[in-house]
Amino acid sequence: MSITKEAELIGMKRVSEAVAYTLKEMRNYARPGMTTKQLDDHGAKILADMGARSAPYVTYGFPGYTCISVNNEFCHGIPSDRRILREGDLVNIDVSAELDGFWSDNGGSFVLGEDVNRHQQLVDASKEILRKAIDNIRGGVRIADIGYLMETEARKRGYKVIRNLTGHGVGRSLHEEPSEIANYRDRLNLTRFKKNSVVAIETFISTASTYAETLRDGWTMVGNKGGFMAQHEHTIVVTDGLPMILTEMNGIWN
């Protein structure tokens, strides 16, 4: 969407704070020995208490209120009573929701407890790349140029990017134009970021794979060549200067 009046900005701030707070609290709540279903239930209660509705549940009938992916699961992991979190797991939580007709999206990967499996370097790379990408977004900048920056930064660190997962426009629905904000230079994409537009910027930084494939459950995605992936996401408003980060409360850069 494009912000055209103060009421729209207020609406986007409210829903963005709801998803950002939920993500932060879920990350703080996560413990080894807990199931991903317990973690999802915690997030669902926070969203409900804030008057927000889970976007994947409402929009797609997703079997959970948040997406929780663990280790080799890249994204869209289904919360489960059978999936028990363990020390050193690479966990990704993606929280998106609707509140009063406005939609926002954010997510983040983190290492649970002690980094016994050595995932922290990947997580840090994803955070750093997201920050650099957002710092370079302005009205008029080509989307493909930001994708090039993200892939270049990933390669510098010895990583790859997932080419079939992208950021997207958001605001009046979960996915809007621009429909694809890729992590690589898509030479066919001549679209530029527009001032006052609302977009969800996401990293998809991988150790081995370049494409994500859907498992038989119809939701969970893993890498075509295995390995691990870290994702971080903010919903922002594009300006003439540094973007306004609506989901900054999630603390993924802390």
Split at pLDDT 50, 70, 90, the class of 37 is very high
More confident residue, 205 or 254: 205
Taking each helix axis as running N to C, give the angle between helix 143-156 and helix 120-135, from 0 to 180 degrees, rounded to the nearest 10. 150
Q: Quick: pLDDT tens for 179-214.
A: 999 999 999 999 999 999 999 999 999 999 999 999
Q: Quick: pLDDT tens for 125-175.
A: 999 999 999 999 999 999 999 999 999 999 999 999 999 999 999 999 999
Any known ligand binding at 94?
A: yes
User: The dihedral of CA 204, 118, 21, 76: what is its sign?
Assistant: positive
pLDDT at 6: 97
Please give the DSSP secondary-structure letter assigned to residue 84: B
Split at pLDDT 50, 70, 90, the class of 21 is very high
Split at pLDDT 50, 70, 90, the class of 245 is very high
- Closest by CA position to 223, among listed 181, 162, 182, 179: 162
Tell me how far CA of residue 186 lies from CA of 138, 141, 156, in angstroms: 18, 14, 19
Any known ligand binding at 202?
A: yes
Where b means 16+ CB within 10 Å and e means fewer, 139-157 reads: eeeebbebbbbbbebbeee
CA 222: distance to chain centroid? 16
- The full 3-state SS of 87-102, as one line of letters, equals CCCEEEEEEEEEECCE
Counting residues of the chain whose pLDDT is more than 70, the rounded percentage is: 100
Any known ligand binding at 233?
A: yes
Any known ligand binding at 213?
A: no
pLDDT at 218: 97
pLDDT at 154: 98
Split at pLDDT 50, 70, 90, the class of 227 is very high
Any known ligand binding at 232?
A: no
Split at pLDDT 50, 70, 90, the class of 52 is very high
pLDDT at 155: 98
pLDDT at 210: 98
Any known ligand binding at 8?
A: no
Q: What is the CATH number of domain 6-250?
A: 3.90.230.10
Where b means 16+ CB within 10 Å and e means fewer, 46-65 reads: bbeebebbbbbbeeeebebb
Any known ligand binding at 175?
A: yes
pLDDT at 97: 98
pLDDT at 150: 98
pLDDT at 57: 97
Q: Quick: pLDDT tens for 87-134.
A: 999 999 999 999 999 999 999 999 999 999 999 999 999 999 999 999
